[in-house]
Amino acid sequence: MTDIPDRRTVAERVAAATPDGLARKVSGFSDRTIAWLFIGPTIALLLAINIFPLIWAVYLSFTNYAANKLNATVAWVGVRNYSRVLSDPDIWERMQATAHFVVWTIVLEVLLGFGLALLINRQFRGHSFWTTVVLLPMMLSPAVVGTFWKLLFQTQIGPFNYVVSFFTGIPPSSFDMVGSVALAPWSIVIVDAWMWTPYVMLICLAGLRSVPDYIYEAAEVDRASSWRTFWSITLPMVLPFLMLAVLFRAIENFKMFDMVALLTSGGPGSTTELASITLKREAFEKWRTGYSSAFAIILFVTIFGAANIYVKALNAVKNR
C-alpha cells in the first residue's frame, strides 16, 4: 500500500491537468452509472450467448426444423416434439443409464472423498504435498482422460486388466471393461470416481477444518466416544459441505458428455449412452433439430428444478 498523502498529490495532479468540464465528465460518474457500466457488458454477453440461444431453442423445440435442410419449410408442430421425447422408451433407457452413472459416481466419490478428507485432516507429515498429488486428476481435460483410459482398459494391451488379474486371478483377456454390456456402465463410473473423488475430498476437508477445536474439546471433557463424536459433531458439521459437493457433482454428471463420449462413445450398443450423448446424436448426427431442442429444454428444466429443490434442502440443513 502506498501512503495516503502521496496518493493525494497524484490525484491532485490528475485533477489539475484535466480541463474542468472534461474532468466532471470523466470522473463525475455517479456510482449508479458506474454500477451499470460495470455490469452491463457481462449481462449483455450472457444474454447474447446464453439467453438468446435458449429462447431460440425453445422456439425450435416447437418446430420440425432440421439444421441440415436449409431450404425446407419450417412448420410449427406444437408440443409434438415434447410428447415424442417423453413417450420414447429409448429416451427413458438413456435416462436410466444417466441415473445409474450419477448415483454410483456420487456414492463412490462421497465415500472415498470423505474418507480421504478424514485421513488428510490428521495432518500427517507431508500432507500438503500428497494432497496436491491426490487433487491432480480433477484438473485434467475430461476428453483427454477418456481417451487415455481407453488405452488403459484395452483387454490385451492395457494394464488395467492385468492389475485386476494380479489381485483376483481372473485371466486378463477374459473380460472387457469398455466393450461388454455388463462392465461398460461401471468403467465410466470408475473413471469418473478416479477423476472427481478429490473434488469431494477437498470440499469435505474444508468442512472438517470449519469445526472449531473447542467443540471437540468439550466432547472430550464429556468423555464422548470417538464414534459418538463422529456422528454427533463431525458429520453434522460437514454435512452442508458434503451436500454442496454432491450438488455440483450431480449437475456436472447429469450433463456428462466428453469423458464418456471418448471412453465408450455410448457403447456397446447404447449401454452407456448418457443423456448428453443422445442429445448430440439427435442434434448433430440425425439432425433432428426440433426434437433435440425439446429434449435439451427438458434436460435443462430437470437440472434447474432439481437444483432449486436441493438448494432449499441445503439451506435447511445449514440453518439447522
Partner 1 sequence: MSGLTQAHSVVAPSTASRRISGAIVIVYAIITMLPLLWIFATGFKSQSDAIAYPPKVFADPSLQGYVNLFTTRSRQTPEYMASLPPPETWYDELVRKQNMVIVGPSKFGARFMNSLIIGFGSTFLAVFLGTLAAYAFSRFRIPLADDLMFFILSTRMMPPIAVAIPIYLMYRELGLSDTRLGMIILYTAVNVSLAVWLLKGFIDEIPREYEEAAMIDGYTRLQAFRKVVLPQAATGIAATAIFCLIFAWNEYAFAVLLTSGEAQTAPPFIPIIIGEGGMDWPAVAAGTTLFLIPIVVFTVLLRKHLLRGITFGAVRK
Among the listed ranges 47-55, 76-84, 100-108, 180-188, the one in contact with partner 1 (CB under 8 A) is: 47-55
Q: Does 146 bind partner 1 (CB under 8 A)?
A: yes
Give the count of beta carbons closer than 10 Å to the beta carbon of residue 26: 10
Nearer to partner 1, 28 or 236 (CB): 28
> Cα–Cα distance between 52 and 43 in angstroms, integer?
12
Restricting to residues 204-223, name those near partner 1 by CB under 8 A. 205-206, 209, 213, 216-217, 219-220
Distance of CA 193 to the CA centre of its chain: 13
Among the listed ranges 71-79, 82-90, 114-122, 174-182, the one in contact with partner 1 (CB under 8 A) is: 114-122
Nearer to partner 1, 106 or 262 (CB): 262
Single out the residue of 80, 82, 95, 131 in contact with partner 1 (rule: CB under 8 A). 131
The dihedral through the CA atoms of 113, 116, 121, 127 has a sign that is negative
Q: Does 103 bind partner 1 (CB under 8 A)?
A: no
CB 118 within 8 A of CB 124: no
Nearer to partner 1, 76 or 148 (CB): 148
Single out the residue of 22, 25, 48, 236 in contact with partner 1 (rule: CB under 8 A). 48
Restricting to residues 166-185, name those near partner 1 by CB under 8 A. 172
CA distance from start to end of the chain: 42
| Burial grade of 249 (CB within 10 A; 0-12, 13-18, 19 or more) | buried
In whole angstroms, the minimum distance from the beta carbon of 265 to partner 1 comes to 10
Before 142, cis peptide (omega within 30)? no
Single out the residue of 82, 175, 186, 194 in contact with partner 1 (rule: CB under 8 A). 194
| Residues 68-87 as x/- pattern, contact with partner 1 by CB under 8 A | --------------------
Q: Does 186 bind partner 1 (CB under 8 A)?
A: no
Q: Which three cell numbers stand for residue 307?
A: 437444483
Instruction: Return the closest-CA partner of residue 88 out of 261, 260, 304, 298.
Output: 298
